[in-house]
């Protein structure tokens, strides 16, 4: 070989170049490409609608506008075995699922999607009158297999993230909810160990006030759940979702005791 030193240098450069490309180099390129295509759509002038009365002679673009902003935050557990597994799931096209944020057990937060873009995290869901949850929400996935407790670093990072999102997008306290709230028939996340009361103390979600008051005459459980936001088409699923979140129990008889109804009544009043 005439130039062994040159060969060695080239080999070192190639190795260094290859090492500089981390595992998600290609999926990040895909992200940028898709975002660029969407940006082209935003730059396109609105088309003039032609009716039987003709169409305007020229286009008039409004000058008062901004980006549509998210109005809900939906909290999930990943139901997978590691943060790395979830990152791969959300970067594999065939899975057709994603979220804006993933919080690992060590508290590190992966911001995977611009908040203004629509993640595929809610699926078939309903909250109040909103049926397209993905179009109006931010999805946060917390690394958790669905049965374990959430780590202190995860909760601390989540609180910091929620504070940022609430201030940035002026999201109402009542609009911080769980996947199990919006899809009670299909989902139970975040699981029964999730610290909803701690979040509510910081202004993220609703919680009840202890009371010794008697229930109003004719108190209706399903009507109250509907006011909070639950889809009561499957009444058992809706009641179980409420009990999982506010009572910390699951797979119990769907009937509510008077004390549990008082908790429901307290939450309902805050949601009104």
**Residues annotated catalytic, as ranges:** 141
Size of the chain, expressed as the number of residues it contains: 272
From CA 98, how far away is CA 89, in angstroms rounded? 8
Q: Distances in Å between the alpha carbon of 78 and those of 8, 46, 52, 121, 197?
A: 45, 39, 52, 11, 21
8 A C-beta contact, residue 233 and residue 217: no
From CA 206, how far away is CA 203, in angstroms rounded? 8
For 56, how many CA atoms within 13 A lie in the half-sphere containing its CB?
A: 8
From CA 96, how far away is CA 105, in angstroms rounded? 24
What six digits make up the tokens of 55? 């169409």
The residue written with tokens 């595929």 in the block is 120
The residue written with tokens 């450069």 in the block is 13
From CA 8, how far away is CA 13, in angstroms rounded? 9
The residue written with tokens 């160990």 in the block is 193
């Amino acid at each position: 070989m005439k130039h062994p030193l040159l060969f060695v240098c080239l080999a070192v450069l190639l190795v260094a170049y290859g090492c500089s490309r981390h595992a998600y180099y290609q999926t990040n390129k895909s992200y940028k490409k898709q975002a660029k295509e969407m940006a082209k759509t935003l730059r396109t002038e609105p088309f003039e609608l032609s009716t039987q009365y003709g169409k305007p002679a020229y286009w008039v673009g409004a000058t008062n506008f901004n980006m549509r902003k998210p109005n809900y935050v939906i909290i999930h557990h990943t139901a997978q075995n590691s943060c790395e597994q979830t990152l791969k799931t959300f970067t594999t096209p065939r899975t057709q699922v994603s979220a804006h944020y993933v919080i690992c057990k060590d508290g590190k937060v992966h911001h995977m999607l611009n908040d203004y873009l629509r993640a595929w995290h809610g699926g078939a869901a309903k909250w109040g009158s909103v049926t397209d949850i993905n179009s109006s929400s931010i999805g946060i996935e917390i690394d958790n297999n669905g049965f374990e407790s959430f780590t202190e670093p995860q909760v601390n990072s989540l609180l910091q993230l929620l504070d940022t999102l609430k201030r940035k997008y002026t999201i109402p306290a009542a609009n911080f909810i769980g996947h199990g709230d919006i899809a009670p028939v299909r989902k139970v996340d975040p699981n029964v160990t999730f610290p909803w009361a701690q979040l509510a103390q910081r202004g993220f979600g609703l919680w009840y006030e202890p009371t010794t008051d008697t229930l109003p005459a004719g108190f209706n459980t399903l009507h109250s759940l509907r006011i909070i936001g639950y889809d009561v088409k499957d009444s058992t699923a809706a009641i179980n979702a409420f009990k999982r979140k506010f009572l910390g129990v699951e797979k119990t008889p769907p009937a509510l005791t008077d004390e549990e109804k008082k908790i429901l009544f307290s939450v309902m009043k805050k949601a009104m």
